[in-house]
């Protein structure tokens, strides 16, 4: 198995509705809110953890590819090496370490997404009594007692933007890296599924509708790393639709990187 390079996908996540990714109430108790959002412990700014983004995309791709584990509700994991190699969920999003299958490193890294400068300014101007956020009272029903359980949900306001970065690695597993190039499309599929679903909590109440925009894709080959180069731009200012068009150029560059 040989490393061929990384595809770096960057851009902006726009919240088309309020976003609630739960934080730790004990640490982030602000104004006695019942359900606080997760914040950076240093800056106190809300952010989107890479693990939330990746976990949600993995889950949606499990459904899309018919790999949901209905028996125990645990995340899908292929049980054999042969299976896992051809499985976009395991190959791209990773497999639990306990399974110990030789499909190579998890192809996808998703970094934490932090607010853009513009969004930080907008948050600073908010007058909601909370720091950088807003809140809404949501009425939950206790499933056991059927009693109303109103909760103050803290959320990142609609229109907020976060800068995201994902790194997709390409390995030659005796195929010149062709399989990983082909499986790159599942990243876009998962992003598209996320746009039509939701991120974070209370999705059924309309929270967490997000959109990927200003997408920029760069391929940085093994040689680029050796020479300290930035790599080749495959596209910029794209939407998810445009992201599909970079695959042919990516295939060329990966083939060239093996020579």
Closest approach, Cβ 253 to Zn ion, in A, equals: 27
By the rule CB under 5 A, 61 interacts with Zn ion: no
Interface stretch with Zn ion, choices 81-89, 97-105, 118-126, 223-231 (CB under 5 A): 81-89
Interface stretch with Zn ion, choices 15-23, 72-80, 128-136, 226-234 (CB under 5 A): 72-80
By the rule CB under 5 A, 90 interacts with Zn ion: yes
Count of CB atoms situated within 10 Å of the CB of 233: 12
Interface stretch with Zn ion, choices 40-48, 89-97, 134-142, 233-241 (CB under 5 A): 89-97
By the rule CB under 5 A, 78 interacts with Zn ion: yes
Q: Smaller CB distance to Zn ion: residue 13 or 89?
A: 89
Q: Smaller CB distance to Zn ion: residue 135 or 183?
A: 183
By the rule CB under 5 A, 243 interacts with Zn ion: no
Q: Which residues contact 74 (CB under 8 A, 6 or more apart)?
A: none
Q: Which of 35, 60, 89, 218 binds Zn ion (CB under 5 A)?
A: 89
Q: Smaller CB distance to Zn ion: residue 90 or 218?
A: 90
Rg of the chain (C-alpha set): 20
Q: Smaller CB distance to Zn ion: residue 32 or 66?
A: 66
Closest approach, Cβ 242 to Zn ion, in A, equals: 28
Closest approach, Cβ 108 to Zn ion, in A, equals: 14
How many residues line the site for Zn ion (CB under 5 A)?
4
Q: Smaller CB distance to Zn ion: residue 132 or 171?
A: 171
Q: Smaller CB distance to Zn ion: residue 13 or 78?
A: 78
Count of CB atoms situated within 10 Å of the CB of 7: 26
By the rule CB under 5 A, 210 interacts with Zn ion: no
Closest approach, Cβ 61 to Zn ion, in A, equals: 10
**Given the rule CB under 5 A, which residues bind Zn ion?**
78, 87, 89-90
């Amino acid at each position: 198995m040989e490393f061929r390079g990384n595809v770096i996908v960057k851009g902006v996540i726009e919240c088309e509705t309020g976003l609630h990714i739960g934080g730790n109430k004990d640490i982030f108790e602000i104004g006695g809110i019942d359900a606080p959002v997760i914040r950076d412990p240093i800056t106190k700014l809300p952010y989107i953890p890479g693990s939330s983004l990746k976990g949600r995309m993995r889950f949606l791709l499990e459904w899309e590819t018919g790999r949901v584990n209905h028996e125990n509700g645990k995340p899908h994991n292929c049980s054999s090496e042969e299976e896992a190699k051809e499985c976009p969920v395991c190959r791209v999003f990773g497999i639990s370490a306990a399974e110990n299958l030789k499909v190579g490193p998890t192809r996808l890294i998703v970094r934490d997404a932090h607010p853009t400068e513009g969004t930080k300014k907008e948050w600073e101007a908010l007058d909601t009594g909370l720091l950088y956020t807003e809140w809404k009272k949501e009425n939950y029903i206790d499933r056991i007692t059927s009693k109303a359980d109103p909760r103050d949900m803290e959320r990142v306001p609609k229109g907020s933007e976060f800068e995201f970065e994902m790194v997709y690695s390409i390995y030659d597993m005796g195929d010149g890296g062709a399989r990983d190039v082909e499986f790159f499309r599942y990243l876009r599929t998962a992003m598209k599924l996320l746009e039509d679903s939701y991120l974070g909590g209370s999705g059924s109440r309309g929270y967490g509708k997000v959109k990927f925009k200003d997408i920029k894709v760069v391929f940085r080959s093994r040689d680029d790393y050796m020479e300290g180069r930035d790599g080749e731009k495959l596209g910029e200012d794209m939407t998810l639709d445009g992201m599909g068009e970079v695959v042919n150029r990516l295939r060329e560059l990966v083939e060239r990187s093996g020579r």
